[in-house]
Structure 1
Amino acid sequence: MASTIATDISSFAATQLLLLDYELQAEVAEVTALVSQSSPTALQRAGIAILNLIVSSQRTGLGGRTVVDLELDSAVGGGELPEHGIRTGDIVSVQEQPAGTARRKEKSDLKSRGSEGVVVKVTGSKVAVALNKEDEDLPSGKIWV
């Protein structure tokens, strides 16, 4: 016969929130390590980045946040995004894609100018990201997430 143990709802919820926080910290540490050690091309092959994107539209979303729609650059390929693991609710960094001839210092400057946001919609041809900063200067040219 199974024993019934009374669980206080508030302590259960507090424990779950603590575990979720630990999980978030572990995921952030894992992705940060991957991003710092790998090239954007390797990240795309791993399914955690999408390269060669351009801003197709920009609008104001809930809370006054800027929502940008990112699509694959038509000069690079078809309209469909490559296979990736980016889903709605993911926290992403939107950065200008460095040129192939860019020096190390130029690449680090581009990383510092990137914006963070939350993915609000993913389709086969575009990714919509709500940026964290309200008055965000969007990079021109190719972008990667």
Structure 2
Amino acid sequence: MKILLLILSFSLFGQNKTCHEQIVFDFYKDSILKLEKHDGKVLILKKLKENNYSLWSKNALSELNFKLNDTAASIHNCGINEIKNIDSNTFDILKKWKKNKSFVYVSFATCFYDKNIVTIIDNSKKEKRIYYFLINEFGVITKWFDEYFIKP
């Protein structure tokens, strides 16, 4: 009986939710950002934002096989409202949204059937980019791509 209770306690309380947003941010800072040139530190909004679907192109919607009006889409929140592990040598933290300020921000994950989509908006340079990440329920990024939503 004690063994059964011990097993149940580990299975119920020992599981961590997969934070798709944090996994995507860590991938972005460790892999993508290292390949790109930025003048000085990158300004980042620490708080997660809702997806701005108006920036998504027809190409991205097709690539993700996502329909904006589909009722299957929902916001996924793993319990965090802001990004952690922000390297102060690479990033400066923006405390709150500023209208004409250039910065990077991460969206809450959008769940769509068996897919989770997280976007990172980078408007820290003249060309404005959106990064799309497909991530499975186990926290593995299965696909990612980027495109310009404003190109000078």
Tell me if TM exceeds 0.5. Answer: no
TM-score normalised to structure 1 length = 0.30
TM-score normalised to structure 2 length = 0.29
Choose between structure 1 and 2: higher strand proportion: 2
Highest CA radius of gyration, 1 or 2?
1
Choose between structure 1 and 2: higher helix proportion: 1
